[in-house]
A and B are shown apart, each in its own frame.
Chain A
């Protein structure tokens, strides 16, 4: 198969390869590459694809890929590059009489204009005789120069040389312009937890959102994922315990965002309910669940009910003759919803509601020092596809993508793996006590040891709710 060169964006490094692989699934493109050649700190990856058409399909909706090039040659310096390009002479006749443009792009350093021009001219042996058209050429060629990220190595010896050079014919560019289109700064209705446009778009790709599919967000908030998934052609549904998030204020609401982005054909509905008490009559029906669960970073996690020991009544309450829960401004009493419970519920819900092959894409916040890969929740029906970290220093969040690989059966449960936290971890111990108090009322949980996952008591540690 012919070689192509993928030029990744220098953004969200850990998300790039998972997105690339999701795109190959979405577009059903046969692509081969050597995993060992992929470097997080480099923009380039050499891949093999059947044809330009397939390469274009693969990259057209990419957020973390700038462009893809048909590879014409590579080398560690200009001489090697020339030699390698000369081997492609069978391709050259096709470009005779066609307008074209050459450019130079450098990574890890800059190349002065004079040097760029020299480099471009050094390829005159190609003999292209068409017009040079800088604005609207039929073909674009790029000399791509990678200076590498370990610059100091070269600085020391005083010569600053490229590590690798490529010549590529541009096939197509990705969809990074969408990041601007869905930019939160330009969005009509926003909340404190609206998700960044770039990440919301990447999530839609991870979810394989596309025409004919149905995607659901059970913690929909202001609707960020509805818009990006529907942008790519999927039909979407969302729900939230807090109807005020959905309705917004005045003329700003999820509805006004749908109008702004002209997605009314495909954003189906948003509903108000607690995911712990959901009214769906059906299972095996969703193609993807894409969500940012409430962990208390900004929007607190809660579920219907009252805090333990609450003496308040639980019978029907009315106000001016109308049952309280039927009032428009009703917000039900809630109790805290510990993160491990949220995760457990999310995985079990997904295992039931996704159709076979469907994907769950969600954010998992972790405390960096305590995190280990085993902390990622598991479920017998769900296979981990990718786990990409976005780091914020002491804490980070991880975008987890899972795929339903087996039908769910009664009695199968998610596991939230555990590891030790220290005896003198005051917050965690206190939270654990509270959870135990709750558990004592219920079942067998007699003597649990001090094992808890790295995200345990996350909210309390970082946001001090006690």
Chain B
């Protein structure tokens, strides 16, 4: 699971509607995998990110290169886009779990695949 995906996920247990994002990463195994740099995609997706959550998650995983706020000239700032690229698209959580900060539901990640299924009593 890449951090872009993590940034789009929230806990969806029935009636868990507050403080259910971002899911806390625990016991994770992280891998960096190089990917082609495509500024166009990054430019399109920046506006969709929850920035503070993204920065915090990256810091938790040991990446402290992201600025606290999105720079004004983000879309033409290649240096920034490259840092964003690495955190967003090249950082993979291969194993671990995501825990809801509100209801503590655990979503396991195995071989990079997050399991977001709910149990019967949660739907």
The chain A residues found within 8 Å of chain B, CB to CB, are: 211-214, 235, 237, 239, 241, 243, 246-247, 255, 264-266, 268-274, 277-282, 285, 304-306, 314-317, 323-326, 328, 330, 332-333
* A residues less than 8 Å from B81 (CB atoms): none
In the assembled complex, 21 residue pairs joining A and B whose CB atoms fall closer than 8 Å, in A order, are A211-B40, A241-B117, A243-B117, A247-B113, A268-B2, A268-B4, A269-B2, A272-B117, A274-B118, A277-B123, A279-B116, A281-B8, A281-B21, A282-B8, A316-B119, A317-B120, A325-B115, A325-B119, A326-B108, A328-B108, A330-B117
A333 & B120 in contact (Cβ 8 Å cutoff)? yes
B8 & A265 in contact (Cβ 8 Å cutoff)? no
Partner of B121, one of A246, A272, A277, A314: A314
Give B30 Cβ to nearest chain A Cβ, in Å: 14
Known contacts A211-B38, A281-B8; decide if A271 and B114 are in contact (CB<8 Å).
yes
Total inter-chain residue pairs, C-beta < 8 Å = 117
| Assembly CA distance A440 to B9 (angstroms) | 34
B120 & A314 in contact (Cβ 8 Å cutoff)? yes
B111 & A247 in contact (Cβ 8 Å cutoff)? yes
- What DSSP secondary structure best describes chain A's contact surface? loop
Chain B residue with the shortest CB-CB distance to A280: B8
Partner of A272, one of B8, B35, B38, B113: B113
Decide if B77 is an interface residue (CB 8 Å cutoff).
Answer: no
Chain A residue with the shortest CB-CB distance to B88: A268
B11 & A272 in contact (Cβ 8 Å cutoff)? no
Give chain B's interface residue range (CB within 8 Å of chain A): 35 or more
A280 & B9 in contact (Cβ 8 Å cutoff)? yes
Partner of B106, one of A268, A279, A326: A326
In residues 9-25 of chain B, which contact A (Cβ within 8 Å)? 9-12, 21
* A residues less than 8 Å from B12 (CB atoms): 277-279
Decide if B27 is an interface residue (CB 8 Å cutoff).
Answer: no
B119 & A243 in contact (Cβ 8 Å cutoff)? no
A304 & B123 in contact (Cβ 8 Å cutoff)? yes
* B residues less than 8 Å from A270 (CB atoms): 113
Beyond the given A269-B114, A280-B9, A281-B8, could you list 5 further A-B residue pairs with CB under 8 A, ordered by the A residue number?
A211-B40, A243-B115, A272-B113, A279-B12, A325-B119
Chain A residue with the shortest CB-CB distance to B118: A277
* B residues less than 8 Å from A280 (CB atoms): 8-10
A268 & B40 in contact (Cβ 8 Å cutoff)? no
Give A328 Cβ to nearest chain B Cβ, in Å: 6
* B residues less than 8 Å from A211 (CB atoms): 38, 40-41
| Assembly CA distance A316 to B111 (angstroms) | 25
Partner of A332, one of B38, B89, B120: B120
B9 & A281 in contact (Cβ 8 Å cutoff)? yes
| Assembly CA distance A282 to B4 (angstroms) | 12
Known contacts A279-B9, A280-B8; decide if A316 and B121 are in contact (CB<8 Å).
yes
Partner of A273, one of B36, B40, B117, B121: B117
B113 & A264 in contact (Cβ 8 Å cutoff)? no
**What are the 10 tightest A-B residue pairs by CB atom distance, in nearest-first order?**
A212-B40, A273-B116, A281-B10, A325-B119, A265-B35, A265-B36, A279-B12, A269-B5, A279-B116, A314-B120
Give B14 Cβ to nearest chain A Cβ, in Å: 9
Chain B residue with the shortest CB-CB distance to A326: B108
B49-83: CB near A (< 8 Å → 1, else 0) gives 01000000000000000000000000000000000
Partner of B11, one of A235, A237, A279: A279
Chain A residue with the shortest CB-CB distance to B6: A269
Partner of B89, one of A212, A268, A271, A323: A268
| Assembly CA distance A282 to B111 (angstroms) | 25
A271 & B10 in contact (Cβ 8 Å cutoff)? no
